[in-house]
Amino acid sequence: MAALAYTGGKREINYYFSVRSAKALALGAVLLLTACHTASRRYRGGDTCEYLLSSGRFLGEKVWQPHSCMMHKYKNSEAKNCLIDKHVVFIGDSRIRQLFYSFIKLINSQVKEEGIKHGNIPFEDKSASIKVDFLWYPEVNGSMRQRIKSWTEGSVAKPHIIVVGAATWSIKIHNGSNEALAQYKINITSIAPLLEKLAISSDVYWVLQDPVYEDMLSESRKMITNEKIDAYNEAAVRILNSSSRNSKAKVKVFSVSKLIAQETIMKSADGLHLPESSRDTNAMILMNVYCNKIMKPIDGSCCQPQPPLTLIQKIAFCFFTLSIFGYLIISLIHRNNYRKNKTCTDLESGEEKKPAISTPNVSTVEMLLHCFCKLGLIMTYFYLCDRANLFMKENKFYTHSSFFIPIVYILVLGVFYTENTKETKVLNREQTDEWKGWMQLVILIYHISGASTFLPVYMHIRVLVAAYLFQTGYGHFSYFWIKGDFGVYRVCQVLFRLNFLVVVLCIVMDRPYQFYYFVPLVTVWFMIIYATLAVWPQIVQKKANGSCLWHFGLLLKLICLLICIYFLSYSQGAFEKIFSFWPLSKCFELNGNVYEWWFRWKLDRYVVFHGMLFAFIYLALQKHQMISEGKGDPLFSNRVSNVLLFISIVSFLTYSIWASSCKNKTECNELHPSVSVVQILAFILIRNIPGYVRSVYSSFFAWFGKISLELFICQYHIWLAADTKGILVLIPGYPMFNVLVSTFIFVCVAHEISQITNDLAQIVVPKDNSTLLKRLLCIAGFFSGLHFFSAMQDQSRH
Residues with a known catalytic role: 94, 270, 273
End-to-end alpha carbon distance in the chain:
72
Rounded Cα distance between 493 and 527, Å, is: 13
| HEC readout, 220-254 | HHCCCCHHHHHHHHHHHHHHCCCCCCCHHHCCEEE
**What are the angstrom distances between the C-alpha of 613 and each of 274, 590, 670?**
61, 32, 22
Q: For residues 458 and 451, is the Cβ–Cβ distance under 8 A?
A: yes
The H or E element spanning position 698 is: strand 696-698
What is residue 131's three-state secondary structure? strand
State the helix-helix crossing angle for 665-688 and 638-660, rounded to 10 degrees. Answer: 160
Rounded Cα distance between 92 and 101, Å, is: 13
Rounded Cα distance between 144 and 599, Å, is: 55
| Residue 537 exposed, middle or buried by CB count within 10 Å (0-12, 13-18, 19+) | exposed
Q: Which residues contact 764 (CB under 8 A, 6 or more apart)?
A: 496, 775, 779
If we measure between CA atoms, which residue out of 23, 709, 33, 754 comes closest to residue 384? 33
Rounded Cα distance between 290 and 376, Å, is: 36
If we measure between CA atoms, which residue out of 477, 452, 453, 471 comes closest to residue 462? 452
Q: For residues 391 and 729, is the Cβ–Cβ distance under 8 A?
A: yes
Rounded Cα distance between 96 and 136, Å, is: 9
Q: Which residues contact 452 (CB under 8 A, 6 or more apart)?
A: 446, 458, 461
